[in-house]
Chains A and B, each alone.
Chain A
């Protein structure tokens, strides 16, 4: 977010710590150093050379022959660079060095293949080796700035500091260390070299320095040059402006380019580079206008008219609205305030006179405008939206004008326009010192607290006995006020004045954080909570989730977690089997109706656009993905479905459980050697899992039934192999879910192999209310008596009905009924089936006689004959 070259930073603060110590210290203090970058680490085999002599090339006018040395060996260098003199120190490549290919870059520029910054994007490299130039041996090369990647300068050779040690690696002389820092939204104050210097100074206990400014204001008064009016003081708290006339546009000095590049800023021309440089230096974003393109010689800060148009410097015609703040001249907008300048008034090669703006904009407005208009937030907007110190405008403008005069020449108009409608008052915080132990759990002596705050440039007021207070010099030494207020057992209070650049500090808790930062977060002790425990209660929903996971993993299923954001296309696949002309409006059909679904306004892709109304599409996709790699898939997911609720802002989120089984029931092993012919998962596997699950969750088995679904109700299921799961309770019947085999058309739609896919969806949200407490049944040691009963009924008589009749008729003594055989075929008549049950009778108080059992059995048989026309075998 900001790159801080230490070579630049040290102009404002003496750096007494190593880069690693700085990085660690800043990071602990909330200024996160993401990386320490070493510039010049790649300048292998480039050293400080010294010029011994320079002579003209005998065969070429434009070439010179330089004799240079690295202190050990002399090299002859033939070069087109004209600027070296004997005794100069310069970067000298040794054979084998790898450098940026400046000639190729220049050729590409001339051919129009490269525009803008030469060093952006991929750049070509070459390896230095000896050769002949116009008949003379050139053993190596003298290196231009472009070839090192530090600026676009290619005409001349970089001349180094005369004190540079000859033969030293160039990195020692021209290299740099850059801290790459991530800036959180509260840290606007460190988005500059001066801001960083202030932090480093406070941390390492040394002073910091501001740039010294001297300007020759030799022009006529600025008030004669331009007028500034602020029509929207709510969005512009200050507007400062100076004018410089007669500048010469050209490249900025090499050292400035180097710094801008190191800080990842583009290099454009001296005037624009200076505005960017000063923004990076002191933190005040600036905007330079071509003065001659400001119509009427006046500036009005106003909201844009509805539909007003303006071309910005990126040559986009923009249509504006009154939410956008404009810097306008007498006729039209010349700049979208704090965000981007207008094309017409931008600095061009032909610009002669410059008006320089340093303003303070409303952070919320800047943020809304910048983000509404651009994908990438500009450096200026990045600062404004974090709030820039309103006191910085004049410093920024004066510093930039100084540099412009120095590097672009020109006359500076006398004075400055400084339109500052409501000067900002310093924020003063009443700070009860007891807040420190109360919030941090540590005791810091008051004098240390005061010293910490002073180091951070907070001022502490002196107080008088009457309770009034005063900042600055005074005879009064007292700073502590005693306030008996509720909540502050220790009534010591100090009045703290916040520096204008610390907009992030507004309440006592903020000062507590400053104390913690100075004290050292790493020194905060570890203590445990001491207070009374809140009342403890069970979260049933989560308890049930966990039980479901235990039961289902115990049954051999794997848990998956998928995205609740799904594609409409996937939901539609679930309805693939519904014929277009279906006039019925069955349940579940809203799943593929986009109007019934909750849709994102800003999806990343159509793949994840709708909140799912079912987990089925997700689990089928997961099945499909995995079937590519494994034969057998048995999975489940617990997640929410999201159902729009009429008249409510938020949807209903229902906890839902889905299961899916496909492939061979058992994995390949020597007990199951042929997967292709092994038994496959089907309807009865998923039903078995659900039966076990619901009973284990605590729903009484007697309340659960599985019944065929009404026609068309669940079109994603095979019509003949699907069931609803119903709970019959207190006279009410509710559907808890569905289970069955996926419809073959759905199986195909999800790219699954054409085989049975057993799926189920259960409304877990409804489960807690259905759980009944388990009741103990007496277990007796009396012998049980078993009877087998083979019942022959019509094919379409449901087995469930037969079993229910047996149970009902058997009464209390009949403790278990198990179907152990289902048989069709001879000698059973066509259209009939034989169901064989084992009945277990368990007496509670006395041993059953043969006679009693026979009577019960006869009673059951009679009932079955009467109700379902049953006959009995053997």
Chain B
């Protein structure tokens, strides 16, 4: 009887870990480019993927400093690492949006104050990838959030990666 309960407990742990399994690997970059030659100058990148809930420790969010009007590039590749079948109508959303204060915890609505944004809806099969490279400039000084996130994955959590952009005059 004791072995029966132990086997059950192991089964529950395996099931729980499968449910909490990572669904996405994200390589997110923000790159400064030369306005004339379009050569890449420097960048901040992150491969740290957070789950929401619980969210991230905002103090550990990577910081990129830029100047007003400077040509910048967002680049990311998101790979589905969930191996257990296809999920329908998953959304991948990315945006650069102005924050009320630096490294704020609540995510601003990209429909208000969004500098660049996009979304894709697709059937999310194992190992499928979504990639974006987009040029943009920020014309107002302040703190901005660059974020790539999954939505509608039919799970108890979603995944995201984020970079803080501080724009100075």
Do A and B pair up? The answer is: no
Q: Residues on A close to B: CB < 8 A?
A: none
